[in-house]
Structure 1
Amino acid sequence: MDEILNNFFNIPIYIQVAPFLLQGLLNTLLLSALVIPFGLASGLLVGVLSITLKNRWARGILAIYIDVFRALPPLVLLIFIYYGTPFFGWELPKLLAVVIGFMLNNSSYYGEIFRAGLESVPNGQVEAARSTGLSATQTLLYIQIPQATRNVMPDLISNTIEVIKLTTLASAVAMPELLRVARDAQSLVYNPSPIVLAAIFYLVLLWPLVRLLSRFEHKKMGGGH
């Protein structure tokens, strides 16, 4: 038992590395504060285009976009953007490369969620809104998108939790996010306790979202009865 405590729950090491891990946590929060809104906004655009585009070629291009960025591993995409773009004459800062990489990946996943939500809005409500004089754009903004968002809120929250966890991939371009800092600290103290402390930080960060997700899921199940 003492060996387990010493190797994974070493309080003196926790105290020693906590300031560094807190800085890594701040970087993780900054990444999340950037990639989640951009992912949601670009995903909403993809979802709207999915149900509004009439041109067959345009729909085909959008389908390819969604399939490609859902199929590409985010780590490969991130490495390609950061290390590959200099060959085309672009030198992207690390943060910008991470934001772009996550936006491309997230837009495809959020886009499919929003598409499902928009398709779940009954046509009768759309027709009723149009009959009151609302334009197609007004109907989309005031009727379809709000209802679609409510309908798929559990999926949006679930995907957002995954996005926060995926910010650990930013370490591939040497961004000092929480897990990267914990690994560096582990190599300095020769003890895995910093990794465990990072896991505790992630638990504290994600627990409210997990509880919120459970609440929405239970509410949805209760509404189904």
Structure 2
Amino acid sequence: MNKANKIYQNLLKRFGHQGWWPLTPKGKFYPVYQTEARTSDLSNQEMFEICVGALLTQNTAWSNVVKALVELNKAGVLTPQKLVKISFSRMAGLIRSSGYFRQKSKRLKIFVKVLIKRYQGDLNKIFSKPLVEARKELLACYGFGPETVDSILLYAGAYPIFVVDAYTRRIGNRVGLFHTEDYSQIQEYFQSYLKKSVKLFNEYHALLVQLGKEFCRTKPLCEGCPLNKDCAYYLGESLN
């Protein structure tokens, strides 16, 4: 078993299934975690909620995104058709908790306009395309970088693509999986050493986030970490 797979097994044993992506049940306001990673049968509304969440989570904690999603749900506007109609100022107010709310409002407004104009609000028209083509189209959206796009592709579109975020970079470099900050190189590492599975990539990314929150913080809490026996940082090993 290679080190990437060994780390996954250790994290899964310690934290269990994470149930990402949290989604809002019909008639409710608050997103809830799933009993297991869903890789299919998502409705267009659920896929759209993931897209919005992926955009709002830029440079902020998920807890702040939840507050924004709750406000959007309470206002009854969390659909492409309704968001495109509300004013910029109202949208900014609803998502204020997510931070950078004016910037994110602009990005979200542009995204829903494109979604309606090109795809009639139907995300399946994007996700029916090959991965490379769908990724290219989403990356062309204003304010959508690789992490945001790959989160959408993995969690909403069910494409086997590994999401790289700050936790992935930090943990991977510390434990000694790689020695780079480059998004594409890190993504290629995981996609080379792991089975190309939507469910696996979904769960692995969520587990890394959990580890980053509990143990592998900016100032790490190494004692008790499920990876410390294999961690180059903890063992004082050089990555060179």
TM-score where L is the length of structure 2 = 0.31
Q: Which has the larger radius of gyration?
A: 1
TM-score by length of 1: 0.32
The structure with higher relative contact order (CA 8 Å, sep 6+) is 1
